[in-house]
Chains A and B, each alone.
Chain A
Amino acid sequence: MKKMALSVVLAALVAFSLSAADKVVLTWWTWTLPTQEDFVVLKKGFEAKYPNIELQPSVNQMDDYKTKLKVEFSSGTGPDIMSMQPGSMIDQFKPYLLDLTAPAKATLDKLEPAIVAEAKLRSGGDAVRMAPLGASSTMFVYYNATYFKKAGITKVPSTTAELLDAAAKLKKTYPDKVPFTLGLKDSWFNGDVFGIFADQVEKGLLEKADLGTVKFTDAKFVKALGNLKGLVDKGLVDKNSVGVAVYEDSIGLLMDGKAAMHVNGGWNVANLSSTKVKNDAGKLYSDRREGRATVDDVFSAFPLPNFNGGSPVVLGGIDIGIAINKNAAKDPAKLDAALKLMDYMLAGDGQKFETGRAGAGLIPSIKGAKMNLTPFVDKESADGANAIVTATNTMMAGPRGVTNPAVFTQLGVAVQNVVNGKDIATELKAIQDVYDKQM
């Protein structure tokens, strides 16, 4: 009996190794996205298209991911393909990554040039070491289009004046509702609020301060926080906002029909979905659309107007890039397979599945990219979804956040204090202090 079992196992092993020998095995390590469940679909689709390639994905926790990569690379191995994040991660691993400029040209040419340039900038500036799988950006005004219609707002606001006008009209039609809610309780959000007001004054201003070429005490930052203060004085931003969390206070106000406009990142695009359609699992595209007072309302979004005048900007960038291991690329068959996977994920069926999907919040980087509009039945919500894609791919002013997390925390503190009426110059000096002190 035992012998028989053993021989069956052996036979299976032989069969397996034989079939594996014919195939190019491609390992792809990532964190969080694509998820295990996503990979079931992606692997099936990719292997069906390229039967001689076997995809072996591994989804990690962010914590372990960097350590795992470090250990692998220091012993000279590593996965064939890996997901990369702009910033410290790619800075750390760029010596091991292949320059994609020439080998992946065909795929990169299909993408938005601005995002490819961003990928190059973030991977050292001298080479494209990651191809953008998906991007995201902030900040957008999500609004209840049903309320807008009733209040007689016919044009989507794109300037401060139009936004103030819309808020006034809403207040008149709905005296008991909050026209505009900006949740300023959370540090992670307030740092971005600071960034957007800064980059509205000058594109890339926050990044310059982060690099040390501009001081936080610069007049441009005074202007930026002055614009924020101006919104408080005009009553658009309520002083109470400092006690309102983005989740679930502020967004809850919008979804519960207690507010008409709410500020948040583009990753909330799924909330624009209609309750008339369901996904493959038979559920609504957004949990927040379920069982609320706004179940029959239509939602849409537009980029936060530029309060300094001029055209709107967004902050953000590549969420996840795909990189190829330099060593693995020495094997021509592997390189060919890796490039095929890259094209599949960035410009092929994999892209259609993974990015541009309402739930994942990843904005595709492909030229003329559109969201999959199935969940966005109403014209307003489809326009809103497309506005988020366009803004992400064309209005990017700089990355979210700064290198030193302590400085980022202090940016949020400054936002809260300015809204609460404290002196702008003092707050900016406090930021510069934290920047200089390097605790």
Chain B
Amino acid sequence: MATTRAPAGAFQVLRRKEVLWGYGFLAPILVLMGLFVVYGLYFVVKISFFKWDGVDPETMVFRGFRNYVLLFSDTNFLMAVLNAVIFLVVTVSVQMFAGLMVALLLRPKLFGHRFFKALFYIPVALSTTVIATTFAAFYEPNFGVLNSVLTSDFGKTLGVSGLAHSWLGDPSTALGAVIVANIFQWMGAQMIFYIAGLTTISDEVFEAAQIDGAGFWPTLTQVVWPSLWPTHTTVIILGMVGAIKTFDIVWLLTQGGPGNATQFPATMLYQSVAQNFQAGYGASISVVMILLCIGLSAVQISFNNRKREA
């Protein structure tokens, strides 16, 4: 039978070779993904329907959707989601503004611009452990830098010494304190995004706006800001994913406390599984987080594709 299609044979062989080699090149990643991601996905979805301590597989008890019912009626989880939303809104808006401003300030390539660019990016290259330890010492209530400055003679003159308190121990300031540390760490990344985004706007555009008599703010709001939407989208979506994933800075600074004031979905997940031995309940948090992340990634991918087609 094959002989009747002989003329196409060489091409067929090449095609088959391409298919085989294609899968061959993908084999390592598929094996790793299968072992850790696909199996992991199956496993978390499965145990999210069980009550289980995560230790002895013989002790699993099926409980249907009860974990999800408990999760969505758990005030701590709702609080964690609210925290993530606050974290997202504040972080993203501050970082968009600060990142863009710094990128603009660096654009005229004034004295030391390379130094400043590197400096602002250094925290991104640092471990969160370094950032968290530094900020923990900064916020420490008794002899920390912040309270020491506030209660110093200088602080007293300014009348701010009354602000000194336990920044991470007071539920009303703990989340803010964590957000500040997080913005300090990641602002450099947004700056890089905006530097890249700004290269798409030529100097002529800026000048044209100025010839029209527009000042700094009108130029910024009417010309620069709208043309940076691709960058804004990236920053916003990465900010969302970041807010869902945020774990290490919170865990290192507050462990979700005081009380549950700085609980995030990820810290709740870790606490449930590693500290409270609630693997089943924790898995229901995992499933919700995974769905959100995949959804956001899908939005970003479709946006990127549209951008490419446009």
Contacts and interface: CB of A to CB of B under 8 A. Distances in A.
A–B touching in complex (CB under 8 Å): yes
Interface of A: 178, 181, 184-187, 238-245, 249, 253, 258-259, 404-406, 409, 413, 416-417, 420, 422, 437-439
A292 B41 CA distance: 50
With most chain A CB atoms within 10 A of its CB, the pick from B141, B169, B170 is B169
Contact of A242 (B136, B142, B169): B169
Contacts of B260: 413
Contacts of B168: 185, 243
B70 interface: yes
Given A243-B167, A409-B271, 16 more contacts: A185-B255, A186-B255, A187-B275, A240-B166, A240-B169, A241-B166, A243-B166, A244-B169, A405-B275, A405-B277, A406-B278, A409-B275, A420-B170, A437-B70, A439-B67, A439-B281
B263 to A, nearest CB: 10
B141 A244 contact: yes
B252 to A, nearest CB: 11
Contacts of A238: 141
Contact of B257 (A240, A253, A416, A437): A416
B140 A249 contact: yes
A41 B41 CA distance: 49
Contact of B166 (A187, A242, A409): A242
A297 to B, nearest CB: 18
A253 B139 CA distance: 15
A244 B254 CA distance: 10
Given A258-B143, A439-B278, A187 B257 contact: yes
Interface residues of B, number: 30
B265 to A, nearest CB: 16
Contact of B170 (A181, A243, A413, A438): A243
A406 B280 CA distance: 13
A185 B169 CA distance: 7
A243 B258 contact: yes
Interface of B: 51, 67, 70, 136, 139-143, 165-171, 254-255, 257-260, 271-272, 275-278, 280-281
B169 A241 contact: yes
The B interface, classified by DSSP as helix, strand, loop or mixed, is loop
A416 B272 CA distance: 19
A143 to B, nearest CB: 17
Given A420-B259, A437-B70, A439-B70, A242 B276 contact: no
Most buried by B among A243, A259, A405: A243
Which one of B136, B171, B258, B280 has the greatest number of beta carbons of chain A within 10 Å? B258
A181 B165 CA distance: 15
B165 A240 contact: yes
23 contacts: A185-B254, A187-B275, A239-B169, A239-B170, A240-B169, A242-B170, A243-B140, A244-B142, A249-B142, A258-B142, A258-B143, A405-B277, A406-B276, A406-B278, A409-B271, A413-B257, A416-B259, A417-B258, A420-B259, A422-B259, A437-B70, A439-B51, A439-B272
Contacts of A178: 142
Most B-side CB within 10 Å, residue of A422, A437, A439:
A439
Contacts of A241: 166, 169
Contact of A420 (B140, B142, B171): B171
A420 B258 contact: yes
B80 to A, nearest CB: 13
B72 to A, nearest CB: 13
A249 B136 CA distance: 10
A427 to B, nearest CB: 9
Which 8 pairs show the lowest CB-CB distances between chains A and B?
A243-B169, A242-B169, A243-B166, A240-B141, A406-B276, A240-B166, A417-B259, A243-B168
B143 A187 contact: no
B258 A253 contact: no
A242 B258 contact: yes
B50 to A, nearest CB: 12
Contacts of A185: 168-169, 254-255, 257-258
Contacts of A404: 276
A416 B258 contact: yes
Contacts of B142: 178, 181, 240, 244, 249, 253, 258-259
B257 A242 contact: yes
Contacts of A413: 257, 259-260
Contacts of A258: 142-143
Contacts of B255: 185-187
A411 to B, nearest CB: 12
A251 to B, nearest CB: 13
Contacts of A186: 255
Nearest to B284: A439
Nearest to A414: B259
A278 B38 CA distance: 56
A188 B166 CA distance: 20
Contacts of A253: 142-143
A60 B272 CA distance: 26
A413 B258 CA distance: 7
A422 to B, nearest CB: 7
A54 B257 CA distance: 51
B111 to A, nearest CB: 41
Contacts of B258: 185, 242-243, 416-417, 420
A193 to B, nearest CB: 13
Contacts of A243: 139-141, 166-170, 258
A253 B67 CA distance: 43
A186 B256 CA distance: 10
Contacts of A259: 142
A240 to B, nearest CB: 4
Best-buried of B51, B254, B276 by chain A (most CB within 10 Å):
B276
A424 B170 CA distance: 17
Nearest to A184: B169
Nearest to B260: A413
Contacts of B67: 439
Contacts of B166: 239-244
B242 to A, nearest CB: 25
Nearest to B147: A240
